[in-house]
Copies of this chain bind each other. A is one copy, B any other.
Amino acid sequence: MNTANQRLFNQTNKESKLVEQEVRRDDIGFGTKLTDSHSRLINQDGTFNIVRVNSSLWDRLNVYNRLITMGWIQFLSWLLVFYVTANTLFAEVYMLAGADSLKAADDKVLYSPFWKCFFFSSQTLTTVGYGHISPDSFLTSSIAAFESMMGLLAFALATGLLYGRFSRPMAHIRFSKQAVFAPYLDVNGWMFRIINTRANQLINLEVSVSMSRVEPKSDGALSRKYYNLSLERNKVSFFPTNWTLVHPITEHSPLYGCTPEDLEQSDTEFLVSVQALDDTFMQNVHTRFSYRYNEVKWAQKFRPMFDGSEQTPVRLDLDKLDETEEAPLN
């Protein structure tokens, strides 16, 4: 250890103003180094625009998470591939152990030794076990005993994943494709709109919006800064209809006095995070979205989503989510 450093802290750094400033700085977890203006931070599907290198094979595979989040067709295809592969492997093992020692009720021409082993394997793996093919030696009996156990375990994983995917709580929230700058009371506001596309209820919704932009530091170097945008209302108990979220642009807003050009030059991105409780099993759900500067319309306001008819109950038209109309700003 460097003895020259033993003097450490003997200086009287009492209170540090820089530390206090730093503590108050908003940062949602991306840091200040991401100043490349050609890429967005959060993709519109909620994933992050970061690549990991040198992670371990296991971490890169990330098996469980991947099997839960991949598409349904991909998932079912993997199941089928796995099933056929497992049967093929076990069929080869039975072939090695002697296909003759699998006794079939009667041997049609069709039953080539390989396919006999293959179908015996499938009947063992799924524990269907018709018995028209049966193991007839110590070796094949042992392999079959092992395979049926493996089959139970493997299908437990497969069916667990299947049900996990099926029952996974998700916020079926659709965001308006574009955010808008619209007049709001006697000022203007930055707004976007969300709906719950499903009939199952989301309760206790909470929304937070951060704005991220690249700003020059005092030494001229670019640095990414984050601002939490206060919302007119960031929490509701129920979410039965649509909800327009409004950030009022008053003097306190970091957007105060901004022009469209400012947004573009500073590579502005609006990061939205929504948390809620799914009413069915009272599970937390979470979803992310982002609007970049070119996904924000100026001087437009959202049109109502109720279809205007006098019918009861009230009818909410989901197709109108993205509809806006001109509205001169204040």
| Chain B residue contacts of A239, Cβ below 8 A | 29
- Is B162 a contact partner of A153 (Cβ separation < 8 A)? yes
Choose one: B19, B188, B257; the contact of A232 (CB below 8 Å): B19
A216 is an interface residue with CB less than 8 A from chain B: no
Say yes or no: A103-B132 contact (C-beta < 8 A), given A10-B257, A119-B145.
yes
Question: What residues of chain B lie closer than 8 Å to A317, measured between beta carbons?
Answer: 53-54
Per the bound structure, the CA–CA distance linking A328 and B268 in Å amounts to: 37
Residues of A in contact with B, size category: 35 or more
Name the contact of A50 in the complex, choosing from B54, B56, B233, B314 (C-beta under 8 A).
Answer: B314
Q: Which residues 16-52 of A have a CB within 8 angstroms of B?
A: 16, 18-19, 22-23, 27-31, 33-34, 36, 38-39, 41, 47-52
B-chain residues with CB within 8 Å of residue A9 when the two chains form the complex: 188, 249, 255-258, 329
B241 touches A50 (CB 8 A): yes
Is the pair A330, B13 in contact by a Cβ cutoff of 8 Å? yes
In the complex the two chains form, is A185's CB within 8 Å of B152's CB?
no
Residues of B within 8 A of A286 (CB): 203, 277, 279, 282
A286-B278 Cα distance, complex, nearest whole Å: 10
Complex interface residues of chain A between 252 and 292 (CB less than 8 A to chain B): 255-261, 273, 277, 279-286
Cβ of A14 under 8 Å from chain B:
yes
Shortest C-beta distance, A214 to chain B (Å), equals 14
A319→B79 CA distance, assembly (Å): 34
Which residues from chain B contact A208 at a C-beta distance below 8 Å? Answer: 237
**Does A94 sit at the interface, judged by CB under 8 A?**
no
For residue A85, CB closer than 8 A to chain B, the reply is no
Bound CA span A16–B306, Å: 29
Given contacts A9-B255, A130-B131, 19 further A-B contacts (CB under 8 A): A8-B188, A11-B330, A13-B188, A27-B233, A29-B237, A39-B313, A50-B240, A52-B197, A53-B316, A60-B199, A65-B200, A65-B280, A68-B280, A69-B280, A119-B142, A126-B151, A129-B129, A129-B131, A282-B286
Shortest 9 CB-CB contacts between residues of A and residues of B:
A156-B159, A29-B236, A132-B134, A131-B131, A160-B163, A122-B145, A130-B131, A128-B129, A29-B238
